[in-house]
């Protein structure tokens, strides 16, 4: 049974450092020792890491006998800065500065570790910082027991467990007990860092490594269109002011009532601003967008279990006739080249008694702030295909086969026409 470590004798801490430093790498492999001045420097560094782990309550052992130790924490958990200072103090005595300088170029070109990718995408995870079996217990299966402590935490919280290792022999052992190597960073000849993960069965599909790595590549690619460029900041644009936030919160409350226990499709979801707020009330929800980068941003952070993000062209939806009870399209019809075609597709996929929810920016020539903001967006590359007034927008929906059953102009930087329609 796992035991959380609150204190250790200094000789036990030293035994952990020595066990780590005495690891024998494969031929032509240096690992962490490349950066250290010598074996003692590596041991001293690990001892400092153990002390920090104890202070931050992130060190565990396999039993009260202290056969083996693992240090891990959930991303985002606060750590004691004073505890980390002890590690910083060991660096001058630890580093081989000549080797560190040689590695600098490799570090620049090595790419990100998987843990760094998860952090950048704001995906919570459990990070394992150290795995050590003391010398007297090596070769007796304690490494598997150690990792199971972290794996159990991953299953408990439905989070991926991430571990980095500098040794191919360790990598092979971790893979043997159920981990998967997903990234490899090359720093110098014989110096690699392997990122491995354990993904529990209850891990959300958006946080699976295949999706995460694909999203990371998409976000790194050159922007293909204006919506790719807007992807990282779009949600701040929509709800970034107190007034806009209040308007959207009121809209979420209304939409939640409409979609309750319904099968829902959202078109032009962007970064999932609306979808993530209302999906829990729906029976199921698919949120689509034409921009891969928007979808990559949408899959960050927590996604409701009944919500799927999919790529789709709004003018040629890949869904069967009469598939959905509710279709949502927000702030998109005015920038789509053929909005009439989109409304025909919505008519097709909606069930006979289906509901269209279509909030959309409208233009108010009396509101100077709205006019200025519209011009700023146009200058940034957003092309408004239509500039409806409130009445003009509702008439457009009626002319294209929908009966408006409720409408209200909501306050926003650019006024927002909230419209509900029957097929």
For the chain, the residue count is 423
Sign for the CA dihedral angle at 409, 415, 420, 423 comes to positive
Neighbours of 139 (CB within 10 A): 8
The arithmetic mean of pLDDT across residues 187-215, rounded, is 91
CA pair distance 121, 137, nearest whole angstrom = 39
* Listed ranges 232-241, 286-295, 380-389; the one with the highest mean pLDDT: 286-295
CA pair distance 326, 355, nearest whole angstrom = 5
CA pair distance 162, 74, nearest whole angstrom = 10
* Listed ranges 101-115, 180-194, 234-248; the one with the highest mean pLDDT: 180-194
User: Which of 203, 214, 215 is CA-nearest to residue 124?
Assistant: 203
CA pair distance 108, 126, nearest whole angstrom = 25
* Core vs surface per residue 94-127: b (16+ CB within 10 A) or e: bbbeebeeebeeeeeebeebbbbbbbebebbbbb
pLDDT digits (tens, 9 = 90+) for 252-308: 999 999 999 999 999 999 989 999 999 999 999 999 998 888 898 898 878 898 999
Provide the whole-model pTM: 0.63
């Amino acid at each position: 049974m796992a035991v959380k470590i609150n204190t250790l004798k200094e000789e036990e801490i030293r035994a952990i450092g020595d066990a780590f430093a005495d690891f024998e790498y494969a031929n032509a492999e240096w690992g962490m020792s490349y950066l250290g001045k010598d074996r003692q420097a590596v041991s001293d560094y690990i001892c400092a890491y153990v002390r920090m782990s104890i202070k931050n309550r992130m060190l565990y052992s396999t039993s009260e006998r202290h056969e083996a130790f693992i240090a891990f924490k959930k991303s985002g958990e606060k750590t004691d800065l004073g505890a980390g200072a002890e590690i910083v103090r060991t660096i001058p005595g630890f580093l081989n500065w000549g080797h560190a300088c040689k590695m600098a170029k490799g570090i620049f070109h090595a790419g990100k570790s998987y843990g760094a990718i998860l952090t950048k995408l704001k995906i919570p995870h459990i990070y394992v910082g150290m795995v050590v079996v003391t010398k007297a217990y090596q070769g007796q299966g304690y490494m598997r027991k150690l990792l199971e402590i972290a794996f159990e935490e991953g299953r408990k919280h439905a989070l991926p467990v991430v571990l980095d290792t500098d040794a191919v022999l360790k990598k092979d052992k971790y893979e043997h007990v159920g981990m998967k190597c997903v990234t490899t960073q090359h720093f110098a000849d014989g110096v690699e860092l392997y990122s491995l993960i354990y993904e529990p069965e209850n891990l959300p599909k958006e946080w699976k490594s295949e999706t995460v790595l694909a999203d990371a590549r998409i976000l790194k690619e050159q922007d293909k269109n204006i919506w790719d460029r807007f992807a990282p900041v779009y949600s701040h644009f929509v709800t970034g002011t107190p007034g806009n936030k209040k308007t959207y919160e009121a809209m979420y409350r209304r939409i939640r009532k409409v979609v309750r226990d319904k099968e829902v499709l959202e078109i032009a979801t962007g970064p999932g601003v609306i979808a993530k707020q209302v999906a829990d009330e729906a029976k199921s929800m698919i949120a689509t967008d034409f921009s891969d980068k928007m979808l990559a941003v949408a899959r960050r952070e927590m996604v409701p279990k009944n919500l799927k993000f999919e790529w789709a062209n709004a003018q040629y939806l890949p869904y069967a006739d009469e598939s959905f009870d509710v279709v949502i399209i927000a702030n998109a019809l005015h920038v789509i080249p053929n909005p009439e075609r989109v409304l025909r597709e919505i008519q097709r996929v909606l069930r006979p008694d289906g509901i269209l929810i279509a909030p959309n920016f409208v233009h108010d020539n009396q509101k100077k702030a709205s006019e200025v903001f519209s011009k700023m967006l146009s200058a940034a590359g957003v092309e408004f295909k239509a500039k409806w007034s409130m009445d003009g927008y509702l008439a457009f929906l009626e002319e294209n086969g929908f009966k408006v059953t409720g409408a209200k102009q909501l306050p926003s930087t650019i006024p927002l026409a909230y419209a509900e329609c029957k097929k």
